[in-house]
Amino acid sequence: MFYRIAGQYKTSYGADYALFPIKQDAWLLALILVFAFVVFPLTASDFMFRALLIPVLIYALAALGLNILTGYAGQLSLGTGAFMGVGAYACYKLITIFPEMNIIGAIVLSGFFSAAAGVAFGLPSLRIKGFYLAIATLAAQFFLLWLFQKWAWLYNYNASGAIQVPNTQLFGVTITGAQAPVLAQYFFVLITVCILTAFAINITRGRIGRTWKAVRDMDIAAELVGINLMKAKLSAFFVSSYIVGIAGALFVFLWRGAAEADLFDIQLSFRVLFIAIIGGLGSILGNYLGALLIVALPVIIGTVPAAVGLPISSAMVEHLNTMIIGALIIGFLILEPHGLARLWALMREKLIIWPFPH
Amino acid sequence: MKMTFKTALLSTILAAGLAMPAFAQEVLKLPNMSYRTGPFAATGTPHMNGQRDYMTMLNERDGGIGGVRVAFDECETGYNTEKGVECYEKSKAEGALVTQPWSTGITLQVLPRTNVDAIPMYAPGYGFSAMQDGKTFKWAFNPPTSYWDGASMIMNAISDGDLANLKGKKVAFLHLDHPYGKEPLPLLEKLAADHGFELLPIPVGLSEMQNQSAQWLQIRRERPDFVVMWGWGAMNAGAITEAVKTRYPMDQFVSVWWGAHEPDLKLVGEEGKGYRALSWNFADPNAKLMQDVKKHVVDAGKSQLNQGAGEFESTPYQRGILMSVILAEAVKAAQEHAGTKMINREQLRWGLENVKLDEATLEELGATGMMAPFSMSCSNHTGHAGAWMVEWDGTKFNKVSDLLSADRAVIDPLVEKAAADYAAANQPWQMNEECTQ
Amino acid sequence: MSYLHSIFVAPFADMADAPDFFLQVVWEGLVSGVLYALIALGFVLIYKSSRIFNFAQGIMVVFAALTLVGLHENGVPALLAVPLTLLVMFVLAVGIERAVLRPLVNQPDIILFMATIGITLFLIGLGETIFGGANKVMITEQLGIPTGSWVVEPFGGFVSVEQKDVTAVVGAVLLVIALLVFLNKSKMGRAIRALGDDHQAALSVGISLSTIWVLVWFISGIIALATGIVWGARAGVSFALEVIALKALPVLMLGGLESVTGAIVGGLAIGILEKVFEIYWGQPLLGGNTEAWFAYMLALLVLLVRPQGLFGEKIIERV
C-alpha cells in the first residue's frame, strides 16, 4: 500500500538505473535523514550519542569499507582493524606534526596512508585466493599491530604508548578532544559518513563497481573478457582501505579520544566483518543494519536486566550478551545468509505488491 | 539470603536512576567498573569483591555512610577500553559521584573527559602516575601510591637503599605491553641513566601472557641481576611458573603490588620461596575491619568471594577492601565539610583532597598495620603512603621490610614535566587555580 | 656493515656459543609447535570432510579444558571427568550439526565460516556463564601426568625439559598415529576421506552426511580436549587460550588446508622457527614480540611461491 509503484513510469534506461527507481525509496531515505539530522539531535542524551549513535555510524563506515573489498570485489579481509589503526595513527601524526592543519584535511589525508597499506598487503591477492588470501590480511593485522606497539615515533614517544587526541577546532567549534560538545562530534561523523556513503553508492554502481563484481563472481572469466585483474583487485583494496582508514581516524578522534595499539586488535577486525556479513555482503544499506545489530544491540541488552529488575551481576550480563550475539549471528545466517539487507529487499518486494500478492 | 540479596539489588537498581527521582536522592552512587571476565579476571575479581564487600558492610553495619546507603553498581568492562567508555557515559548519565575506571587504558581515555564533565576519578594504586599533581589533574586521584612511587621503592629495596649499588648491574623489566605496563618506564630509564645500571625492558604482549617462554629464554640468556615485574592477570602466574622452570633465582625476582597475589604463588608453592612483591597493603584477616566484613557480609552470604580458595585471607581481596575504605573516608570528610549527607561531585572532590588516614583513623577503622597512614591535599592527589616488601615463604606472604618510601626528589620533577606535557597536549586544559600549595 | 653483521653473522655466532641454550630454544619451540599442530589438525579434519573453515576449534579447546576442570571442581574424580568431558564434546558435536550445519548445507564457504565464528562467541558466553571468567588450573597431577622436570647437561650448560611437555609430545604422537590408523583403516575413516574427495560421489554410495559430520566434529572435540589438557598444564586454563589458537591459521596455510601431514609439519616448523627467530633476531634487532606476526609473514611468503601451501592440493580452476 505504502509502496505502490503504480503510476511511476520509466521512459528511459537512465530512469531505470536511477538511484531511486521507486519514489517511495527516496521518501524513506529522506525520513531516515530527517531522523538522523533533526530528531536525534533534539532528543537523544549524551549516553545515546556516545554509546549508540556515534559508534553505530563509525562501525557502519568501517563495514562499508570492508564490504567494498569483500562484498563487491570478493577478497576476504581479516585485517580491517589494523587498517583502521593506520588511519588513526596517520591522523594523529598529521595533527601533531602540523598543529595548524585543519582536522578535515588530516582525516582526508590519513585515509591515503591506510589505502597505501591496504594496497601493499593486497598485492598477494594477485596470486592467492579465498581463505589463503585471508592469511595475507591476517599478516597485515598482526604485523601492523606490532608496529603500532614498537614504533614509538608513531605515538610521539608517549610514556604510556597511547595516543591522546588533542582538542581541535573547526569553524570555531571544538570537534575533537574532551572539550568537544557531543552534538558537534555527532554531526561531523554523520556528515562524513553520508558523503562517503554517497561516494560508495556511486562507485559501486559505475564501471569500476561492475569490474569488481565481475572479479568477485569469477576472476578467470573476468580476465578472459578483458578486465585487468591487477587493476581491479588493487583498486578495490585502495578504495576499501581508504574508507576503513577514515573510519579508523573517526573512531579515535571523534569517539574514543585516546587509543592504545591493542584497540586495533583482531577482535575489531572480526567485529567489522560480522557487521558486513550480518548486514549483507555486496550491499550498502546492510552495513548500517548490521552495525545497528552488532553495536547497538549489546548496549541495549545490557540495560534490559537492570530495567526489569532482574538480579543479575554485570559480569553475568556480559556473559549472556556474548552468548546471545553468537546465537543471533548463527540465527541470522540460517534465516537469511545474504544478510539483513536481503531481508529488507524481500520485505520491500512484498510491500510493493501488498495487499494483492497475485 | 537470596531474598535480601534480591531486594538489596533491586533497590540499587531502582535507585540507579530508572525509578522516581525522589528515590534516587537517598543513595550515594559510587559505581565501579569491574572485569570479572576475560584474561584479567584472575587479579580483577578479588579486588572488586573486596571493594564491593566493604561498601556492603557499611550498608549493613552502619546503614551506609553518614546514614545514606551506598549504591555500588558494577559495570563490566572485561578490561576492554571500548566498554569502559560506554560504562563511563552510563554512570555519568545515572548521576554517579565518582568514576573508578580500573584499567590504565580506560583511565587514559576517561581522564580528559572527567576534567570537562567535573567528575572525580578515583584510581587507587593504578592509573597515570602524574595524576599526583592535583593542580593539573583537578579531578583525578590515585592514592595511596603511584606506579612511579612503586618503581622507585622497588629500586631502593633491591639496591639496599642506595642506588649506587646497582652500578654496572642489569635489571630486566618484565612488563605487560599495555599502557599500564609501560607506565614506570620513564622513571626507570631516568634511574638507569643516573645510576649507571642497565635497564632491559621485556614486553609481554596480551596474547603471550600465558606463554612467556620467549621472554624467559631472553632472561636466561641475558642473566639480569634482577627481574622487576609489572604484570597483571594471567601474566603473573605465567611469569612465576616460567621463572621456576628457568631456574631464575626467586630472591632476585620482584613484582609491583599486583604480583602479591597468593593464588599465583600457590601454583608453584615451595619453589616460589623468596619471591618478593612490593605491596601497599598487608593482609590481616584478624583485623577488626576484616572481622566486621566477615561478620556482616561474608558470613551473611552477601559476598561473591570464593571462600574455599582462601580469598578472604588473600592480599588482593583485602587491598580491594582498603580501596573502598579510602573512598568511604573521602565521602565522610565531604559530608562533614559540606554539612549535608547527600554530597555532590564537587563536594566529593573536596573530600578526596582532604582524606586524612592517620594512625588514629586506621585504629578506629580497625585496620592498623593493613596499610600505611597517608593524607592528600589539593596539590597532592596521591598521598604517597609508602609500601612494604612482602616475601613468599612457600605458603604465605610475610612482611620483610620496614615501610619504604619513594625518592621524591627524582619523581616530583618528572611528575611536574609529565603533567605540564599532558596539559599542553590537551589544550585548553582546566587547571585547579585555587590550589596555592 | 655492522648492521649486516648483526643480521647474518651474530645470531649464528650466538647459537654456536651457547649450544645448550640453542637446544632449549628449539625444544620450547617444538612444544609450542606440537600445540599448533594439534589445533591445526582439528581444523584440517573438519575442512577435509565438509569444506568448513572451522574457526571454533580454538574455543573448543578452551571449552573442553574448562569442562574437564569444572567437573573435577564439582567433585567428579579426574579419571571419570575425562570420559564425561568427551560425552559433553559429543553432545556439542551433535548440537552443532543439528542447529548450525544442517540448516546451512550448501551455503557459500564464507557463510559457514561466519557461522563458526558465531559458534565461537556462543561457546565463549556459555563457558563463562557456566564456569565463570576466572583462570583455572589444569588438574595435571590428578590425571597422572608427571610434573617434574629433567635437566640434561650437554656442552657444559643445561637444558631443562618439563616432564609434562614430554608427555604432551608423546601423547600428541600417539593421538596422531591413532587418528591416521582410524582414517586409513576403518570404514568410518574411509568414509570421511571419501567425503573429502568427492561429496556427490560419497553421498551416492550411501555415506550419511550427518553421521559423518557428527563424527568429524566429535573427533575434533577429542583433539580439542587433548590440546586443552596439554596447553592447560603448561599455562593454565583461560579464555586467553583462544587467541593462541589463532596461530593454527598460518600453520594451516603453510601446510595446506586439506593435509594432515601439512598440519603436523607446518605446526612444528612454525613453532620452532618463530621461537628461533624471536630469540636470535627479534629480540636483539626488532624489540621483541615478533612471535605475534612471524608465523603469518612466513606463511605469506610461502604462499607467494606455492599458493596452495606446502602440502595442499593444487587448485584447478575451470571457467
> How many structural domains compose chain B?
2
B87: which 3 cell numbers?
560504562
On the question of pLDDT at A1 being above 60, the answer is no
Question: In the beta sheet, which residues pair with residue B404?
Answer: B387
Query: B31 and B138 share a domain?
Result: yes
User: C32 in contact with B at a CB cutoff of 8 Å?
Assistant: yes
3-state secondary structure of C285: helix
ipTM of the complex: 0.85
d(CA C222, CA C225): 5
pTM of the model: 0.87
Query: B9 and B99 share a domain?
Result: yes
Query: B262 and B276 share a domain?
Result: yes
B222: which 3 cell numbers?
641475558
Give the chain B residue nearest A259 (alpha carbons): B109
CA C180 to chain centre: 16
> How many structural domains compose chain C?
1
- For B427, the closest of A161, A167, A258 (CB atoms) is A167
Residues 6 or more apart whose CB falls under 8 angstroms from that of A54 comprise A182, A185, A186, A189, A254, A255
CA-based nearest residue to A288, from A67, A40, A22, A47: A67
Is the CATH code 3.40.140 the one for domain A44-353?
no
CA-based nearest residue to C263, from C162, C183, C145, C165: C183
Q: Enumerate residues 288 to 317 of chain C having a beta carbon within 8 A of any beta carbon in chain B.
A: 288-289, 291-292
User: C162 in contact with B at a CB cutoff of 8 Å?
Assistant: yes
Q: List the CATH number of the domain containing B360.
A: 3.40.50.2300
Residue type at B250? M
Q: List the CATH number of the domain containing C38.
A: 1.10.3470
For residue B339, count other CB atoms closer than 10 A to its CB.
Answer: 8
User: C217 in contact with B at a CB cutoff of 8 Å?
Assistant: no
Residues of C in contact with B203 (CB under 8 A): 287-289
Amino acid A237: pLDDT: 93
Query: B331 and B318 share a domain?
Result: yes
Q: Which of the pair, C221 or A337, is modelled with greater confidence?
A: C221
pLDDT tens by residue, chain B, 437 residues: 344 444 444 444 444 444 333 344 588 889 999 888 777 887 888 899 999 999 999 998 888 888 888 888 888 888 888 788 888 888 888 888 999 988 878 888 888 888 888 899 999 888 888 888 888 898 999 888 999 999 999 998 888 888 888 888 999 999 998 888 888 999 999 999 999 899 999 988 877 787 788 888 889 888 899 999 998 888 888 899 888 888 899 989 999 999 888 888 887 888 888 999 999 998 888 889 999 988 898 888 888 887 777 888 889 999 999 999 999 999 999 999 988 888 889 899 999 998 888 888 889 888 888 899 888 988 889 888 889 999 999 888 998 988 888 888 889 999 999 888 888 888 778 888 877 76
Q: How far is C174 from chain A (nearest CA, A)?
A: 30
DSSP string for A311-346: ---HHHHHHHHHHHHHHHHHHHHHH-TTHHHHHHHH
- For B237, the closest of C24, C135, C244 (CB atoms) is C135
B323: which 3 cell numbers?
580501596
Amino acid B23: pLDDT: 44
Do A161 and B179 make contact, defined as CB atoms within 8 angstroms? yes
3-state secondary structure of A156: coil
Query: B26 and B80 share a domain?
Result: yes
Note whether residue C268 is domain-resident. yes
- For B214, the closest of C162, C240, C279 (CB atoms) is C279
- For C128, the closest of B37, B213, B217 (CB atoms) is B37
Note whether residue C108 is domain-resident. yes
Query: B201 and B334 share a domain?
Result: no
DSSP letter at B94 equals T
Chains that contact A by 3+ CB pairs under 8 Å?
Answer: B, C
Q: Where are the domains of chain A?
A: 44-353
Note whether residue B431 is domain-resident. no
B46: burial class by Cβ within 10 Å (0-12, 13-18, 19+)?
buried
Give the chain A residue nearest B19 (alpha carbons): A307
Give the chain B residue nearest C129 (alpha carbons): B37
Q: Are A69 and A125 in contact (CB under 8 A)?
A: no
3-state secondary structure of C55: coil
Residues of A in contact with C297 (CB under 8 A): 139, 143
B378: which 3 cell numbers?
589539593
Note whether residue B171 is domain-resident. yes
A14: which 3 cell numbers?
537512465
Residues of C in contact with A319 (CB under 8 A): 125, 128-129, 133
Note whether residue B189 is domain-resident. yes
Query: B107 and B189 share a domain?
Result: no
d(CA C317, CA C319): 7
Highest mean pLDDT among A240-249, B61-70, C26-35, C150-159 belongs to A240-249
Query: B118 and B152 share a domain?
Result: no
Domain limits for position C244: 2-305
Q: Are B99 and B114 in contact (CB under 8 A)?
A: yes
Note whether residue C201 is domain-resident. yes
Note whether residue C147 is domain-resident. yes
Q: How far is A29 from chain B (nearest CA, A)?
A: 29
CA-based nearest residue to B188, from A150, A159, A164: A159
Do B76 and A317 make contact, defined as CB atoms within 8 angstroms? yes
B423: which 3 cell numbers?
596539559
Do A333 and C122 make contact, defined as CB atoms within 8 angstroms? no
Give the chain C residue nearest B212 (alpha carbons): C235
Amino acid B18: pLDDT: 40
Do A135 and C249 make contact, defined as CB atoms within 8 angstroms? yes
Q: Are B321 and B303 in contact (CB under 8 A)?
A: no
3-state secondary structure of B141: strand
Question: In the beta sheet, which residues pair with residue C60?
Answer: none
Chains that contact B by 3+ CB pairs under 8 Å?
Answer: A, C
DSSP letter at B17 equals I
Q: Per-residue b/e over C113-147, b at no fewer than 16 CB within 10 Å?
A: bbbbbbbbbbbbbbbbbebbbbbbebbbeebebee
Note whether residue B435 is domain-resident. no
Domain limits for position B227: 148-281+388-408
Residues of C in contact with A266 (CB under 8 A): 243, 246
pLDDT tens sequence across A82-138: 999 999 999 999 988 988 888 888 999 999 999 999 999 888 888 887 777 887 888
Residues 6 or more apart whose CB falls under 8 angstroms from that of B80 comprise B38
B386: which 3 cell numbers?
609508602
Instruction: Identify the H or E element spanning B219.
Output: helix B213-222
CA-based nearest residue to B282, from B393, B383, B400: B400
DSSP string for B283-333: --TTSHHHHHHIIIIITTT-----GGGT-TTSHHHHHHHHHHHHHHHHHHH
